[in-house]
C-alpha cells in the first residue's frame, strides 16, 4: 500500500508511473488526495474539541477535590454539547478513514523508472540470455511422457486422491524433488540466508500484510472453519515474521530462506498450457526473502537475480531473464525479474523464478520499519524471489537431459540424488 503523503507530494509522478502499468482508474488518486485533506481537517477539529474536553475534565476533578461542587456541576453541564460534537466528528473521521483505506488498497505499487510501459507478457524486456537450447534427437518426449515412461510422476494417482494439479512423485521422482530442495537450501544458506521452517497456513492479517488479501482472495485455498489460508508462496509467512516489527538499522539486511509447498487455486487458468508440471495446485518451492535499507534495495534486487541465475547455471539450463513490463508485474511489485528456462520438447519458455523489489509497499502494510542510526524510524524495503520453484525445473531437466540411456542428472545434483540416471 502506498503512503498517502507520498501520493500527495508526488501526484504527477505517481500518475505517470501508474500509467506504465496501464492502471486506468487515475481518478482514485485525486480522490485519495481530497479525502486525506478532509481527514486532516476532521482530525484537527476533533483534536481541538478533545483538548477542551480534557481540560474541562481536569478542572472538574480539581473543583470536586476542593469541595466546590456547585462550580463543578456548572462546568459539567457545559461539557454536554461538546461531547456530542466530539462524537459526531469521531464518526465522521472514522468514515473518512475507512473510505480512504478502501481506495488506497486499490492502488498498485509504483513501477520503478526502469520498468517499461506495457500491457502484458509480450511487452516484457529480455535483459539476459544464457546458453543454447538443448539439441534433442528425433524421439524427444515432453516431460509428462517421460514421467510416465520412467514411472516417476503419477498425475492420475493424484487425481484419484485429491484432484487435477496434485501430482504424486514416485521413486526417483520423489528423490529428485528432495534433492532439489536440499540443493537450493544449501546454496541459499551459503549465500547468508537463514533457513526457516514456517507454517503452511496463515491468518488473515498475514494475507493482508504481503498483499494477497483482499486482492487475490480467490487464488488461495481457504479453510473456512478456522479462517486460515493455505500459503500460495513462502513469501507470505516468511515476510510476515516481521509484521509490526521495528528493526535496528544494524540488523539489516535480514536474509531468510524457506522451503514450503505452495498452494494455488489457479482459478480460471485451464487450457493447453497447463499440462504435466506446467501449472499445478500444489508445488514445492524454496524462497529467499530480504528486508533491506531503502537505499540498498535495487542493488540487492540485482544480487538476488544473480543468485537465482547461478542456480540455473549450475543445473546447466538454458534460460533467459526478463524485466517485466508495467502491465505484467504483480500488484505489489515495483520491479520484477522473471527467470524462464527453456523447455526443449515443448519448445517454450517456462517461468521458474520471479524476483521482486516491493520497496515500501509491503512494509507499509506490515508496519515493518527500522530505526535509523540517526534515530528516525522509517519503512524498510522488502524483496523476495523463488530460488527456485521445482516443477518447471523438473520439467526442464527431464526434457533437456533425456538420453537413450535415460534422464541424466545434472552433475551438480548427483551428490544430492545419489544416482546419475533416471532409467
Partner RNA sequence: GGAGAGAUGCCUGAGUGGCCGAAAGGAACAGUUUGCUAAACUGUCGUACUGGCAACGGUACCGAGGGUUCGAAUCCCUCUCUCUCCGCCA
Which residues are at the interface with RNA (CB under 7 A)? 5, 40, 43-44, 46-48, 50-51, 53-58, 60-61, 64, 76, 79-80, 83, 94, 246, 369, 371, 377
CA distances from 319 to 65, 129, 136, 395 (A): 80, 6, 17, 13
The residue among 209 and 385 lying less far from RNA, judged by its C-beta, is: 209
Cell digits of residue 313: 547455471
The residue among 13 and 83 lying less far from RNA, judged by its C-beta, is: 83
Give the other-Cβ count within 10 Å of 370's Cβ: 26
The residue among 2 and 329 lying less far from RNA, judged by its C-beta, is: 2
The residue among 58 and 273 lying less far from RNA, judged by its C-beta, is: 58
Ligand-binding annotation for 145, yes or no, is: no
Please give the backbone phi and psi of residue 203, each rounded to the nearest 5 degrees, phi first: -85, 180
User: How many CA atoms does the CB half-sphere of 321 hold within 13 Å?
Assistant: 17
Q: Least distance to RNA from the beta carbon of 17, Å?
A: 22
Q: Least distance to RNA from the beta carbon of 98, Å?
A: 11
CA distances from 150 to 85, 92, 146, 373, 421 (A): 77, 67, 6, 58, 11
Question: Are residues 229 and 220 in contact, defined by beta-carbon separation less than 8 angstroms?
Answer: yes
Cell digits of residue 211: 498483499
Q: Least distance to RNA from the beta carbon of 189, Å?
A: 27
The residue among 83 and 405 lying less far from RNA, judged by its C-beta, is: 83
Q: Least distance to RNA from the beta carbon of 63, Å?
A: 9
Cis peptide before 253 (omega within 30 of 0): yes
Query: Any idea of the CA torsion for 239, 250, 337, 312, to the nearest 10 degrees?
Result: -90
Ligand-binding annotation for 113, yes or no, is: no
The residue among 154 and 204 lying less far from RNA, judged by its C-beta, is: 204
The residue among 60 and 393 lying less far from RNA, judged by its C-beta, is: 60
Ligand-binding annotation for 112, yes or no, is: no
Q: Least distance to RNA from the beta carbon of 14, Å?
A: 17
Cell digits of residue 143: 516431460
Q: Least distance to RNA from the beta carbon of 89, Å?
A: 10
Coil, strand or helix at 118: coil
Give the residue carrying C-alpha cell 521458474: 352
In this structure, the chain runs to a length of: 423
Question: Are residues 369 and 377 in contact, defined by beta-carbon separation less than 8 angstroms?
Answer: yes
Cell digits of residue 285: 518451492
Q: Least distance to RNA from the beta carbon of 130, Å?
A: 43
Q: Least distance to RNA from the beta carbon of 58, Å?
A: 6
Ligand-binding annotation for 353, yes or no, is: yes
Ligand-binding annotation for 351, yes or no, is: yes
Beta bridge partners of 153: 169
The residue among 2 and 311 lying less far from RNA, judged by its C-beta, is: 2
Coil, strand or helix at 152: coil
Ligand-binding annotation for 384, yes or no, is: yes
Ligand-binding annotation for 287, yes or no, is: yes
Ligand-binding annotation for 354, yes or no, is: yes
Q: Mind giving me the DSSP string for 397-421?
A: HHHHTEETTEEEPPHHHHHHHS-SE
Question: Are residues 121 and 328 in contact, defined by beta-carbon separation less than 8 angstroms?
Answer: yes
Residue ranges for the known binding site for ATP are: 264-266, 351-354
Residue ranges for the known binding site are: 233, 264-266, 287, 351-354, 384
Residue ranges for the known binding site for L-serine are: 233, 264, 287, 384
Amino acid at each position: 500500500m502506498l503512503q498517502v503523503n507520498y501520493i500527495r507530494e508526488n501526484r504527477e509522478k505517481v500518475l505517470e508511473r501508474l500509467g506504465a502499468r496501464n492502471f486506468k482508474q487515475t481518478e482514485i488518486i485525486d480522490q485519495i488526495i481530497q479525502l486525506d485533506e478532509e481527514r486532516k481537517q476532521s482530525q484537527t477539529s476533533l483534536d481541538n474539541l478533545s483538548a477542551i474536553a480534557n481540560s474541562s475534565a481536569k478542572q472538574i476533578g480539581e473543583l470536586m477535590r476542593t469541595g466546590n461542587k456547585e462550580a463543578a456541576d456548572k462546568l459539567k453541564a457545559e461539557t454536554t454539547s461538546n461531547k456530542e460534537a466530539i462524537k459526531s466528528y469521531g464518526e465522521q473521521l472514522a468514515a473518512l478513514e475507512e473510505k480512504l483505506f478502501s481506495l488506497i488498497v486499490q492502488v498498485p505499487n509504483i513501477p520503478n523508472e526502469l520498468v517499461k510501459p506495457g500491457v502484458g507478457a509480450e511487452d516484457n524486456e529480455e535483459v539476459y540470455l544464457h546458453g543454447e537450447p538443448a539439441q534433442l534427437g528425433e524421439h524427444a518426449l515432453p516431460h509428462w511422457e517421460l514421467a510416465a515412461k520412467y514411472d516417476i510422476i503419477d498425475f492420475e494417482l493424484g487425481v484419484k486422491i485429491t484432484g487435477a494439479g496434485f501430482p504424486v512423485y514416485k521413486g526417483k521422482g520423489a528423490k529428485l524433488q528432495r534433492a532439489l530442495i536440499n540443493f537450493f537450501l544449501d546454496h541459499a544458506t551459503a549465500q547468508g540466508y537463514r533457513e526457516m521452517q514456517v507454517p503452511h497456513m496463515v491468518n488473515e492479517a498475514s494475507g493482508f500484510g504481503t498483499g494477497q488479501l483482499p486482492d487475490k482472495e480467490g487464488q488461495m485455498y481457504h479453510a473456512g472453519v478456522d479462517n486460515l489460508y493455505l500459503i500460495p508462496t513462502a513469501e507470505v509467512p516468511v515476510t510476515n515474521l516481521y509484521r509490526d516489527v521495528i528493526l535496528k538499522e544494524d540488523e539489516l539486511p535480514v536474509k531468510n530462506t524457506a522451503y514450503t509447498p505452495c498452494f494455488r487455486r489457479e482459478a480460471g487458468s485451464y487450457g493447453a498450457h497447463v499440462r504435466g508440471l506446467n501449472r499445478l495446485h500444489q508445488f514445492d518451492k524454496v524462497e529467499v526473502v530480504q528486508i533491506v535499507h531503502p537505499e540498498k534495495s535495487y542493488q540487492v534486487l540485482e544480487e538476488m537475480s544473480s543468485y537465482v541465475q547461478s542456480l540455473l547455471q549450475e543445473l546447466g539450463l538454458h534460460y533467459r531473464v526478463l524485466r517485466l513490463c508495467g502491465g505484467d508485474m504483480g500488484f505489489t511489485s515495483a520491479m520484477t525479474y522473471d527467470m524462464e528456462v527453456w523447455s526443449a520438447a515443448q519448445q517454450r519458455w517456462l517461468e521458474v523464478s520471479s524476483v521482486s523489489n516491493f520497496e515500501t509497499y509491503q512494509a507499509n502494510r506490515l508496519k515493518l520499519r527500522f530505526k535509523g542510526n540517526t534515530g528516525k524510524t522509517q519503512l524498510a524495503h522488502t524483496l523476495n524471489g523463488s530460488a527456485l520453484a521445482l516443477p518447471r525445473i523438473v520439467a526442464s531437466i527431464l526434457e533437456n537431459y533425456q538420453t537413450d540411456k535415460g534422464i541424466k542428472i545434472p552433475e551438480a545434483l548427483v551428490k544430492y540424488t545419489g544416482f546419475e540416471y533416471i532409467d
